[in-house]
Amino acid sequence: MPDPTHIGDLKPDPANARIHTPRNIGMITDSLRKVGAARSIVIDENDVILAGNGVIDAAAEAGIERVRVIEADGNEIIAVRRTGLSDEQKIALALFDNRTAELASWDVQQIVAHLDAGVDMTAMFYDEELNAIVEQAANGMVPDFKEYDESLADDVEMATCPRCGHSFPK
């Protein structure tokens, strides 16, 4: 199979457990427009996106259509060297990269489906976190993609993370 050269040749992961809100995709798009592509994605031998579904969505919105495929077997780190960035762009790139990850959320229904299929998630989640995810799924919690607006804070039901104490809209 020839390597894909266009993002349209890639297939989204049908079991992706990450949910990308409009704000999350918007920030990734903004990052791509301001500092360009820097983070790699991972695809399998059938061009299914294993990691980076949100990046591909944002790339299309930002007008980035080309894909360069690097073959790897998992025994080496692949570094993307970006050149031509100003000091301010380098800082922005690092901050965008970390912040956009925070703005995505977990699809609790998909996590439970993975658990039901026997996927071992103990390396990714503490038992308390998995229990909370299962409880959320049992209570029918599914993300509604409603953007959090500080001006509506009084009208928004908040949840608090039991591990870090961070509050966020439900």
| Tens-digit pLDDT profile for residues 157-168 | 544 444 434 444
CA distance 50 to 12: 8
Last residue of a domain, one of 106, 122, 147: 106
pTM of the model: 0.75
Show the tokens assigned to 118. Answer: 């026997």
Beta-carbon contacts of 156 under 8 Å, excluding residues fewer than 6 positions away, are 148, 149, 169, 170
- State which residues form the domain around 73: 1-106
Claim to verify: residue 164 and residue 87 sit in the same structural domain: no
- Average pLDDT of the residues in 67-92: 94
Instruction: Quote the pLDDT of residue 162.
Output: 47
Q: Please check whether residues 100 and 118 belong to one and the same domain.
A: no
Same domain, 120 and 95: no
Residue 33 shares a structural domain with residue 80:
yes
Pair (9, 73) in one structural domain: yes
What is the band of 154 on the pLDDT scale with cuts at 50, 70, 90?
very low
Instruction: Provide the domain count of the chain.
Output: 2
pLDDT tens across 22-47, in order?
A: 999 999 999 999 999 988 899 999 99
The stretch 117-141 carries a mean pLDDT of: 89
- Confidence (pLDDT) at 39: 82
Average pLDDT, the chain: 83
Q: How far is CA 39 from CA 52, 71, 114, 137, 153, in A?
A: 9, 16, 26, 31, 34
Same domain, 38 and 92: yes
Same domain, 55 and 119: no
Q: In terms of domains, do 96 and 112 share one?
A: no
Residues 35 and 101 in one domain: yes
38 or 90: whose pLDDT is higher? Answer: 90
The last residue of one of the domains, among 56, 86, 106, is: 106
